[in-house]
Amino acid sequence: MGLKRGALTVVLGTLALAAVPPLSAAFGQPFYLDLFTRILIFAIAALSLDLILGYGGMVSFGHAAYLGIGAYSVGILSHYGITDGPLHFAVAVAASTLAALAIGAVSLRTSGVYFIMITLAFSQMIYFLGVSLNVYGGDDGMNIPAHSEFGSVLDLDNASVLYYVVLAILLLFFFAGRRLVASRFGMVIRGVKSNGRRMHAIGFPTFRYRLAAFVISGAMCGVAGALLANLTLFVSPSIMHWTRSGEVMMMVILGGMGSLFGPVLGSVAYLVLEQLLSGFTSHWQAILGPILVLVVLFAKRGIFGIFAGAEEAGRG
Partner 1 sequence: MQPLLVLEQGLNGVQFGVMLFLMAAGLTLVFGIMNLINLAHGSLYMIGAYVCAYVFQASGSFLLGIGSALAAAILVGIVIEVVVFRALYTREHLDQVLATFGLILFFDEMVRIIWGPTALYASIPGFLSGQVEILPNAPFPSYRLAIIVVGLLLALLLYLLVAKTRLGMLIRAGAANRVIVGALGVNVTLLYTFVFALGAALAAFSGLMAGPIFTVESGMGENVLILAFVVIVIGGIGSIRGAFVASLLVGIVDTMGRAFLRPLLATLMAPAAADNAGPALASMLIYILMATVLFFRPQGLFPPRVR
Between 136 and 185, whose beta carbon lies closer to partner 1? 136
- Per-residue burial over 41-70, b = 16 or more CB atoms within 10 Å of its CB, e = otherwise: bbbbbbbbbbbbbbbbbbbbbbbbbbbbbb
Minimal distance, residue 57 CB to partner 1, in Å: 9
Is the separation of the CB atoms in 156 and 150 below 8 Å?
yes
Q: Which is nearer to partner 1, 21 or 258 (CB)?
A: 258
Distances, alpha carbon 194 to alpha carbons 56, 125, 156, 189, in Å: 9, 31, 43, 9
Nearer to partner 1, 82 or 117 (CB): 117
| Closest distance to partner 1 from the beta carbon of 255 (Å) | 13
Q: Supply the minimum distance, in Å, between the C-beta of residue 244 and partner 1.
A: 11
**What are the residues binding partner 1 (CB under 8 A)?**
53, 59, 61, 106, 109-110, 112-114, 116-118, 120-122, 124-125, 128-129, 131-135, 242-243, 246, 249-250, 253, 283-286, 288-293, 296-297, 300
Residue 182 vs 286, nearer CB to partner 1: 286
Q: Provide the minimum distance between the beta carbon of 131 and partner 1 in the complex, in angstroms, as a whole number.
A: 7
CB-nearer residue toward partner 1: 204 or 284: 284
The distance of closest approach from Cβ of residue 154 to partner 1 in the complex, given in angstroms and rounded to an integer, is 35
Which helix (H) or strand (E) is 258 found in, with range?
Answer: none
For the range 113-118, what are the long-range contacts, defined as Cβ-Cβ under 8 Å and sequence gap of 24 or more?
Answer: 115/58, 115/59, 115/60, 116/59, 116/61, 117/61
Q: Which of 220, 164, 283, 167 is nearest to 50 (CA)?
A: 220
